[in-house]
Amino acid sequence: TTFDVTCSKVQTDLGTGVLVCFEDVTHLEKAGQMRRDFVANVSHELRTPLTALMGFIETLQGPAKGDPAATERFLGIMAGEAARMERLVQDLLSLSRVEADERVRPTEPLDLGALLKSVVHSIRPLAEEASVEIAMTLPEEGVTIPADDDQVRQVFTNLIENAIKYGGADKTVHVTLRTQDHAPSLRGPGAVVEVRDEGPGIDAIHIPRLTERFYRVDSHRSREMGGTGLGLAIVKHIVSRHRGRLRIESEPGQGSTFRVILPRLPQT
């Protein structure tokens, strides 16, 4: 614990005294440390592709100059590194945008079933490329939530993309929407979306840390798959802005379930 201590001389009915104030500033210390860690992480994440890019540029200007096969190959790798930097910058912008308006609650009614269908439709080509099936189960009735359309779209895009990436080939990703008349964690009507994969699962010690920025179970694997390590941090902030809850359940060998519970508008 860190205290700020201030002393001042005071005059009271009983005479002159000294007033000593102890202010607990542990939270400020912590916030400062988190900011410093974040900047260090961002610099590291940007520097890795940048170093690779600079190395290839040097090679193309020197030893590989005029070699069409090497040029073609290196340009391909350079395009991949540049795309990685672009994804990182995009995710950083999303995160800062979500944090900036976290206290302003979204109010626009959104048809959650229609949104999920549209997200799955856009992700299908990626799933096909990875030989992954997406099975969707929606209730018959419409489910409306107060929401920011783009942000909710990002939540389910990130979760389904992760399920495809980490779930593995020749498996199925299950996307299910159901309603709860009384969601205990929300103390009111809820919409529950589950994204379940049949992958290797996640060890329990990692689960509480998955939504931290840049936390990865296997950073090499995540990077190889184009991950920035920010996807679940963005999900957590968006869900929290919508007054929702994110639950992660997983057991090694049993796949993982990412459950998002959002407040629902009364049926009209």
Q: What are phi and psi of 249, to 5 degrees?
A: -125, 130
- Of 151 and 162, which has the nearer Cβ to ligand ADP? 162
> 175 or 233: whose CB is closer to ligand ADP?
233
Instruction: Give the nearest distance from C-beta 200 to ligand ADP in angstroms.
Output: 7
Give residues in contact with ligand ADP (CB under 6 A): 158, 162-163, 166, 197, 199, 202, 210, 215-218, 222, 227-233, 256
Select 186 or 225, whichever has its Cβ closest to ligand ADP.
225
Alpha-carbon span 8 to 17, nearest angstrom: 8
Whether the Cβ atoms of residue 65 and residue 71 lie closer than 8 Å to each other: no
Looking at residue 265, what DSSP letter applies?
P
Amino acid 94 reads S
Q: Which C-beta is closer to ligand ADP: that of 144 or that of 257?
A: 257
Q: Which is nearer to ligand ADP, 145 or 202 (CB)?
A: 202
Are 202 and 141 contacting, i.e. CB atoms less than 8 angstroms apart?
no
Question: Taking the complex as a whole, how short is the minimal distance between the CB of residue 186 and ligand ADP, in angstroms?
Answer: 24
Write the burial class of residue 143 (CB in 10 Å: 0-12 exposed, 13-18 middle, 19+ buried): buried
Distance, in Å, from the CA atom of 142 to the CA atom of 114, rounded to the nearest integer, reads: 9
Please report how close the Cβ of residue 30 comes to ligand ADP at its closest, in angstroms: 21
Give just the sign of the alpha carbon dihedral 96, 213, 190, 195. Answer: positive
Give the C-alpha separation, 39 to 59, whole Å.
30
Q: How far is the CB of 245 from ligand ADP (least distance, A)?
A: 17
Q: How far is the CB of 97 from ligand ADP (least distance, A)?
A: 17
Q: Tell the smallest beta-carbon distance from residue 61 to ligand ADP (Å).
A: 32
Under 8 Å between Cβ of 246 and 259: yes
Closest to ligand ADP by CB, 136 or 217:
217
Q: How far is the CB of 146 from ligand ADP (least distance, A)?
A: 25
Going across the sheet that includes 188-196, the strands are: 133-137, 172-183, 188-196, 256-263, 245-250
Q: Which is nearer to ligand ADP, 143 or 232 (CB)?
A: 232
What is the SS3 assignment for 223?
helix
